[in-house]
Every structure is written in C-alpha cells, then in structure tokens.
Amino acid sequence: MPKAIECSGKNELCLKDFPKPQAEHGCVLLKVLSCGVCGTDLHGIEGKREIGYPFIPGHELVAVIDQIGDGAGKSIKLIGADKLEKGMRVTINPRITCGDCFFCKEMPGHPQKCLNAKTATSMGSAAPPFFFGGFAEYFYALPGSELIALPENLDIRTGALVEPFSCAVGLVDRHRQSFSHIAGNGFEITEPVAVYGAGAIGILMMNAFKIAGAKTIIAIDIDAERLELAKEFGATHCIDSQNKTSGEKIALIREMTNGIGAGIVVEACGVPELIGEGVYALRRGGRLYEVGHLLKTEPAYIDPYTVCRNEIEILGNYAYPSSNTMRFAAELLARNDFPYEKLVSEIPFEKGADTIKNKKLGKAVKPVIVMK
C-alpha cells in the first residue's frame, strides 16, 4: 500500500499506509517524486494556523502523471503542454479557486484573492481519496486543479523550488508592471533592493531581482553562512544584523545606496518591527513589500509621518498571480544559471516524519523530501 506522512494532531506525525485511489471522472492521480518543506507546512504541523486534522502536509511538489480520469482534459487545466499524458512531469498550483466569489468574477487575474479557495492540504486525509498533500507517494488532483508541465532537465530536488520561486518571480513582475514607466520582459529594474531575510524566500527574492537586472541587492540576516550563500544568488552587499541596532542597519543601507535609500525593500523574515525599519530604509517614493507574515502576530509600528512625507508605498504580497508564473519560474530554474542545488537539503521520505517532528532540519535553506 502507498504511504504518506500524516499529521493527526499538533506535532503528531507518522508514516501511514493508505489504499491507492483510482482517478475518478475529471481527476488525475500523480506519483510524487519530491516535495519541499514550506514554513506554512510547519505552521500547520505545530498548530500555529487553523487547519483540520488529520492532513497530509506539502504543496511544493514534483510528480509524474500516474492516472488520468475520464474527462480530466476538460476539468483540469494544464500549463506548458498541449494535453495530459501519463508519465508527464508536472507540479501543481496548490490553490483551487471557487469561480463564484467577488474576486473570481471581478478580478479573474488575481486567483490568490479568492475568498473560498481550497488548498492542497485543506481537504484533509480522513476520507478517500486521502492524498491531498505532497508528503506522500501519491497526490490526488481534483477538478478545477491546475497542473504545470515541468522541463525534463529540471532536477526533482531543485524542482521543489518552483512554487516558492514563483512567489519571487510574481513579485518582481508585479513591481515591474505597476511601478515602472516601461513594462515588459526586456525592462530592467535598476533601483537598489534590500531584502530582510536570507532564508529560502529571501534568497529567491534576491535571485529574481538579480535576473530582472537589479544592480544593487542588499541582503540582511543574522546568519553569516546564509549571507555568504546569498552572494551566489545576486546579493551585492550583505549586512550581518546580529547585534546591530535598527539605526545602524538603516545607516548601512543608506551608505550602500549613495545616501538615498533603497528603492525596494522586501520583508521576508516575518518580524513585525522590520516593517517599520524597512520604511526608514527606503528612499522617497520607495516601496516596501511584506511577504514574511503568514501567521497573525503583534502589530507593527510604522511612522506615519515618514510614510506621508516620503510618499512610501507598503504592499502585502501573499502569492503569485497565476500558474503561468509557475511555468516561467520552472524555466528559469531549468536554465541552471545559479547553483540552486545549494539551497536544497534532501530528506529521505522514510525519515521525513521523524526528521520534521524532532526538528532535525538543521540549517537547510529548503528541506526537500525525496521519494526513493
């Protein structure tokens, strides 16, 4: 029987057998090859966000199509290929939108705003077909799902970066279109960028801005090793924020940007006070993107005078706008222009439950569960 890592309660993980489902009408069964471990997965496992138990974590997956149900070609959207075929390597967009709410009807280009979206892990594993998470040997794609065909040369480990990299690629594209006088694939972002956090999302943000043409990218983190890694993905300057005051960090950012300040600040740590600090680090007319808070925390202090006087924009950025963004992110990763494999640390599937439960992920930037 196929297995999955199931979370049955707070910090309760185990490797469990499930009956293999058959792809019903309009559905597709995927055989999982690998799946990244996201911070939101850990939040659910640790009981820090609302989720129904039991469930199978994981949404950053690489898989091949195992079964295609009747009519699936019409009910499941495929990006990057003409038709669903058995053995095709794919990933998933973890959201299924409702198609009925205000945002689905009035803002169809913003599926991440859907009020009733279902996610890969929100349907739980209590009843058949069970497999609604990537920490498993199979994944069941329902009608309304979107699959993205992956380049054949994309390694299954670095392929687990497609979903988080899409957040970075989508943010850069958003900035390019809404903030610049010239938009399009050929336009370069030349303004200085400061990124708080050199974790997976932070480093991928730096990398996306590097690809987009940013000449000055400042990485800010307390981990010296991660700062060194960030240099390989586009960071031109690093600030080791360990034991530095907010004022000292802001002064360094200004020094690195000719005294003007950053044009773009990305808060990717999930630390509330860094939002207020980031506002001070911006130049006049600069923009701060908040990407690090996917849990409710204490309020952040923001100086309203500085926001007003300097005409600062503060924007939340929850996710990428479409599965086409995911396809583009996959193509960028497949080019191997950067050492993406250095971001990945492999966890054997059989050891996944114990490794996560006992918090033995170490200093891995992106742990990836790999099936054998």
324 within a domain of the structure (yes/no): no
Average pLDDT rounded to a whole number, residues 147-160 = 97
| Same domain, residue pair 249 and 190 | yes
| Same domain, residue pair 190 and 136 | no
| Same domain, residue pair 184 and 143 | no
| Same domain, residue pair 106 and 19 | yes
159 within a domain of the structure (yes/no): no
| Same domain, residue pair 348 and 251 | no
| Same domain, residue pair 171 and 305 | yes
| Same domain, residue pair 288 and 366 | no
| Same domain, residue pair 196 and 302 | yes
Residue where the block lists tokens 């290929």: 81
Structure confidence by residue, pLDDT tens digits, 69-121: 999 999 999 999 999 999 999 999 999 999 999 999 999 888 889 999 988 88
| Number of domains forming the structure of the chain | 2
Residue 188 has pLDDT above 70, yes or no: no
115 near 101, Cβ under 8 Å?
yes
| Same domain, residue pair 174 and 129 | no
| Same domain, residue pair 85 and 107 | yes
| Same domain, residue pair 146 and 180 | no
322 within a domain of the structure (yes/no): no
325 within a domain of the structure (yes/no): no
Domain range for 113 is 3-150+339-370
| CATH assignment at residue 195 | 3.40.50.720
157 within a domain of the structure (yes/no): no
| Same domain, residue pair 17 and 97 | yes
Structure confidence by residue, pLDDT tens digits, 302-338: 999 999 999 999 999 998 888 999 999 999 999 999 9
pTM of the prediction?
A: 0.94
